[in-house]
């Protein structure tokens, strides 16, 4: 009995000493967003975002519109809080706590590029966004179709016309 109690006391003392040492070595773990940003520092959009950068620098409100298909709309997620636009909003708000980040989800189930372009004025530009995140092409590819009448050039021209529009 005495030996068992002594072994238990020794085990408890070793356990406490080990845990105290691990507290001293524990570092603060970065958020998933910070880890992702650190891993992709060299990643570029290929175009400057001066309007968005200026608003971030001034800690102004940033309005982001997410447009796309069911991946954007959140088909198959249990709540709107689990959609990628809402997760993006929370992560950005955590990274920039002094900026009011507003994300509007304009996703549509079954959306195609042509369908999204047809509703762009109403469901994107009408909100006067600072930034647009466009998930596109999935349904066009899955359904074996083509985005007739669309090209990277026409998408870029549309984006450039928006950037040059008065705010």
The CATH code of the domain that includes 61 is 3.40.50.1110
In a domain, 27, yes or no: no
Q: If DSSP codes are grouped into helix, strand and coil, which group holds residue 45?
A: coil
Full domain range(s) for residue 55? 32-38+49-164
In a domain, 13, yes or no: no
- pLDDT above 70 as % of the chain: 69
pLDDT of amino acid 13: 44
- How many helices (H) and strands (E) are present in the chain, helices listed first? 9, 3
In a domain, 4, yes or no: no
CA distance 97 to 110: 35
pLDDT tens, position by position, 68-93: 998 899 988 888 899 999 999 999 99
- Please give the average pLDDT of every successive group of 10 residues along the chain, which has 167 residues: 47 45 62 75 78 89 94 88 93 92 93 87 93 84 66 62 56
As for how many domains the chain has, the answer is 1
In a domain, 115, yes or no: yes
In a domain, 43, yes or no: no
Is pTM beyond 0.75 here? no
């Amino acid at each position: 009995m005495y030996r068992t109690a002594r072994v238990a006391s020794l085990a408890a003392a070793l356990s406490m000493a080990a845990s105290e040492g691990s507290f001293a070595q524990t570092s603060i773990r970065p958020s998933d967003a910070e880890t992702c940003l650190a891993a992709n520092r060299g990643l570029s959009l290929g175009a400057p975002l001066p309007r968005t950068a200026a608003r971030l620098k001034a800690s102004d409100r940033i309005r982001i519109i997410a447009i796309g298909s069911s991946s954007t709309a959140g088909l198959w997620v249990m709540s709107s809080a689990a959609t990628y636009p809402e997760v993006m909003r929370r992560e950005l708000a955590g990274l920039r706590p002094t900026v009011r980040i507003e994300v509007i989800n304009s996703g549509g189930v079954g959306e195609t590029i042509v369908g999204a372009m047809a509703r762009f004025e109403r469901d994107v530009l009408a909100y006067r966004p600072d930034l647009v995140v466009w998930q596109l092409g999935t349904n066009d590819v899955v359904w074996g179709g083509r985005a007739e009448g669309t090209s990277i050039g026409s998408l870029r021209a549309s984006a450039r016309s928006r950037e040059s529009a008065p705010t």
